[in-house]
Structure 1
Amino acid sequence: MLDVRPPRKKVAVRVAVAQELTGIESVTVEESPPPPDPGPGQVLIRVHCAGVGPWDVGMLGGGFPGTTVPFVPGQEVSGVVEAVGVGAEVLPGQRVYATTFPTGGGLAEFVLADSGRVAAMPADTDFAAAAGLVIAAGTAHEGLIDRGRLRAGETVLITAASGGVGSCAVQIAVAVGARVLGVASLGNHGYLRSLGAAAVFDYHDPDWAGQVHRAVPGGVDLLFDGAGGQTRDSALTTIRDNGRAVSIIAQDPMGELERGITGDTFAARVDRQRLDALTALVEAGQLHPRVEAVFPLEQAPEALARVAGGHTRGKLAVQIVP
């Protein structure tokens, strides 16, 4: 059906923006010029919610080469299509979720996105939950399905299992039919079992890797690592000979592995096909978005500080449209 809404009024918009890459403290909420009209293959989204994550914190600290100022954080959004450029495959008025990684822009009332990275939101999903799915679940899905080649009946060990990516990884692995072991602090063990984890291990316990060995004497088939550092080093010892490991800690690559183990450190690139796969899981009741807290735009710096502090359960979102 032809969209007949009146032309968009171009007025100043609210954004959370950093004028220098010196950390979270550089983010302020202010007015910005209206966004341009979408070009070919672009979609202008009126943002209802944006997810925030470690990548935003890293960019604000200057940790991602190529990040320029002024910089608006927010790499994953949900909202309503305001306008489309030639060749875009969504319609004005459609409820969508999308990624703008690595350029950001999500912590604003409007954002431009490539149409190939925009998809219709899952049915009966609210905007905060949809925004929180994009990168977290997209990363988990790529790591487990494409790179980790996880199959039904296998055993997967997931570190940082209670975080945004980890909690999605647990659910996706369960949906595949795998046996899921999680690594998280003791207070999150019940939460992870509620997501379907068969067993959970406390990384504060110096013998946690030994406990995994005793639970799975032959070793796990796949390690999905979201922790890096010593936790990952210990987790690597639990993999069976000729097993597999994938890590999302790009700044801490695994290097050469032993015992025939193959390793892959990656940063996900979420596209419409990935989002459609997530939608199918959500609508089948196999993936439930977990949003720990929703902040108003004016409290975007507080949301980012919460991310930087770590130990979140699920995702954090910022609500743009009240």
Structure 2
Amino acid sequence: MRAALAAELNGIDCVSLGERPDPSLAEAQVLVRVRGAGVGPWDVGFLGGGFPGVALPFVPGQEIAGVVEAAADGTGFRPGERVYGSLFPAGGGFAELALAAAERLAPMPARAGFHEAAGLVIGAGTAHEGLVDRGRLQAGETVLITAAAGGVGSAAVQIAAAIGARPLAVASQDNHDYLRSLGASEVFDYHDADWVQRVRAATSGGVDLLFDGAGGQTRDQAIGAVRDGGRAMFIVLQGPPAQLERGITGEPFAARVARPRLEALSHLVDAGRLRAQIGAVLPLEQAREALNRVAGRHTRGKIVLDIGQ
């Protein structure tokens, strides 16, 4: 099979197109013929050596959508079924065939194609876990979403709106109309010196929940927009834990996307409440270009690789 792979973990430039043996099916696994593979900052992190214990050569790609080629007994999947799911942390998605644990797969949403489904897995899965399970966001509450125009943030805005909460987004000026179209009540530019004060003014003293995907200075400023006694969720990939005061509770987290989470996303998609925002679709041959775009951290929506069409 064709695959984009790295012989060493020394950055994106180590990735090249090559050939690998077809994977061998094992117990509780499903072999998927990949049609779309999401590209995320976690893929960049793996290639930079940020995750220990990675076997070489390494095939990036932690989120896929495709067609079941074969399935082990007892998995419940059948050849020909359209599925999507997470390969984290083993990877292998940037290839024509990928092995997935059955419990990390689900049938694709009826209203999504392969590219859209692949673009939902970790981004929307992270947003759903952070807002619903960990952040306990309720209808009528306000939530501030940083890095809102990216793959995770775009999903978070839609999921918050679907809950009946009031999503406020933080992004550069050229993404404001885009985020309003997804359901953001108001959008703030992190380049403005007084953006935190404007958030507090728009929410009568601060938001109930912060969902941070930006890290760094934007994260530290955003904590100031949370009301006393409010809550905050931080995507762990974006740096060390934040310092919380004023009775604000929170935690860094990394989502674990399994079948129940995927089924919840499928329900939102098929109800018309969630849609993957695809910024670009590139062929497998341009995997390095796709990774470089994600590493730049200024992509709108999700970058997806088209594989095996």
Q: The TM-score by the shorter chain falls in which range? A: over 0.9
CA distance in 1, matches of 2:227, 2:90: 39
- State the partner residue of 1:27: 15
Q: 5 Å matches for 1:2-17? A: 13-17=1-5
% identity of equivalent residues: 64
CA RMSD of aligned residues (A): 0.9
**Bigger mean CA deviation after superposition, 60-69 or 89-98:** 60-69
> Does structure 2 conserve the Cα–Cα contact (< 8 Å) formed by 1:18 and 1:69?
yes
Equivalent residue for 2:74, pick from 72, 75, 87: 87
Equivalent residue for 1:177, pick from 164, 168, 175: 164
> What secondary structure is seen at the aligned counterpart in 2 of 1:90?
coil
- State the partner residue of 1:115: 102
> Does structure 1 conserve the Cα–Cα contact (< 8 Å) formed by 2:213 and 2:238?
no
CA distance in 1, matches of 2:293, 2:54: 22
> What secondary structure is seen at the aligned counterpart in 2 of 1:173?
helix
TM-aligned CA deviation for residue 20 of structure 1? 0.4
Tell me, yes or no, if structure 1 residue 144 matches structure 2 residue 131: yes
Aligned residues: 309
TM-aligned CA deviation for residue 228 of structure 1? 0.6
CA distance in 2, matches of 1:212, 1:319: 39
CA distance in 2, matches of 1:131, 1:98: 8
> Does structure 1 conserve the Cα–Cα contact (< 8 Å) formed by 2:214 and 2:238?
no
> What secondary structure is seen at the aligned counterpart in 2 of 1:145?
helix
The letter of the residue matching 1:294 is V
- The gaps in structure 1 that reach 5 residues or longer are 1-12
> Does structure 2 conserve the Cα–Cα contact (< 8 Å) formed by 1:19 and 1:70?
yes
CA distance in 2, matches of 1:209, 1:237: 7
CA distance in 1, matches of 2:259, 2:148: 25
> Does structure 2 conserve the Cα–Cα contact (< 8 Å) formed by 1:227 and 1:249?
no
CA distance in 1, matches of 2:213, 2:54: 23
* TM-score, with structure 1 as normaliser: 0.94
> Does structure 1 conserve the Cα–Cα contact (< 8 Å) formed by 2:111 and 2:269?
no
- State the partner residue of 1:320: 307
Q: 5 Å matches for 1:1-322? A: 13-36=1-24, 38-250=25-237, 252-322=239-309
Deviation by residue 1:49-108 (Cα, 9 ceiling, x = unmatched):
100100000110111122232110000000000001122121111000011011100000
**Bigger mean CA deviation after superposition, 279-288 or 26-35:** 26-35
> What secondary structure is seen at the aligned counterpart in 1 of 2:120?
helix
CA distance in 1, matches of 2:106, 2:253: 23
CA distance in 1, matches of 2:271, 2:170: 26
Deviation by residue 1:283-312 (Cα, 9 ceiling, x = unmatched):
000001111110111111111111111111
The letter of the residue matching 2:9 is L
> What secondary structure is seen at the aligned counterpart in 2 of 1:187?
helix
- State the partner residue of 1:6: none
TM-aligned CA deviation for residue 253 of structure 1? 3.0
> Does structure 2 conserve the Cα–Cα contact (< 8 Å) formed by 1:154 and 1:221?
yes
> What secondary structure is seen at the aligned counterpart in 1 of 2:119?
helix
TM-aligned CA deviation for residue 255 of structure 1? 4.2
Runs of 4+ residues deviating >4 angstroms: none
> What secondary structure is seen at the aligned counterpart in 1 of 2:236?
coil
> Does structure 2 conserve the Cα–Cα contact (< 8 Å) formed by 1:254 and 1:263?
no
> Does structure 2 conserve the Cα–Cα contact (< 8 Å) formed by 1:74 and 1:106?
yes
CA distance in 1, matches of 2:81, 2:221: 46
TM-aligned CA deviation for residue 251 of structure 1? 5.0
